Amino acid sequence: MPNRSPKRVLVTGGAGFIGSFLCERLVEEGHEVLAVDNYYTGRRSNIVHLLDRPNFEVMRHDITFALYVEVDQIYNLACPASPGHYQFDPVQTTKTSVHGAINMLGLAKRTKARILQASTSEIYGDPNVHPQPEDYWGHVNPIGPRACYDEGKRCAETLFFDYHRQHGVDIKVARIFNTYGPRMHPNDGRVVSNFIVQALSGEPVTIYGDGSQTRSFCYVDDLVDGLIRLMNSPDDITGPINLGNPGEFSILQLAQMVLAKTGSKVSIERRTLPRDDPRQRQPDIARAQSLLGWSPTVGLEQGLDRTIAYFTNALRPAVASAG
């Protein structure tokens, strides 16, 4: 249900992995798109192909500081999303989620823009309910090493709904489950990119714990479609709404698929499971299906083929140099 009337759209985190695909899609739909990024984890190379488009511009800015622009819609995606990146500077991670939400909600309030928060499945923590529906409140350690991200996103959701109730701000909240695809940062520490980069580079594939913990992997094109559908849904649909692929795979299964697809003969190396690492992760997407008419269409096999092809090309100079 994409809205075809051209709008002025702000995408925070627009040079990031997901943000760049969202910007690309919005530009193709004819919207005037402003990508804002401080390049902490985003990369200019993700959006360089859009720079000559007349309806796209990019601004270097950190959303923990106020931003004054005129927009109709705001997609708030800015925040490091992989453990290695968000744990590197946990205080700044919390600030990005909390101060960033306050600043973007203030902008939405002033301009009367509709604003979508890119929340996360980490809201659910290490869940006691499986699969996870939106009315599950979660099982989160508020003082652990992952809390800067988990609790930062939980607080951002609180702010979104309080601004909606107190100030009438037009909000949408998406809870994003594991997403993968081209343009992932090769060193972001996420499991799909980790396995692919290790396999292609001839390094042992590292599994934490026994590999029985599960995840559900959504291809980036499907996720972007879900975000746009949610943004342009009727006013009374605020969310939160889970966006993810309900196919559930163990980490060991994923490693074996990557090794088979890359033809790599490297070994699997086991390491200690990090603290508070979720044992299970699978979205209940009934709400997205009924309210948005959205379901993912790209299976893990197909999505991995596309992602491996991207990394094969991206890593070729480094692999050749090492060889």
- Give φ, ψ of 227 to 5 degrees: -60, -45
Whether residue 296 has a cis bond before it, omega within 30° of 0: no
CA dist 276 → 107, 182, 237, 280 (Å)? 35, 28, 32, 12
Query: Between β-strands 171-176 and 205-208, what pairing exists: parallel, antiparallel or unpaired?
Result: unpaired
Residue with token string 């946990």: 90
Catalytic residues: 149
CB atoms under 10 Å from CB of 32, counted, come to 17
Burial (CB count within 10 angstroms: exposed 0-12, middle 13-18, buried 19+), residue 84: middle
Give CA–CA dist 193/195, Å, rounded.
6
Q: What angle do CA 121, 78, 116 make, to 5 degrees?
A: 65
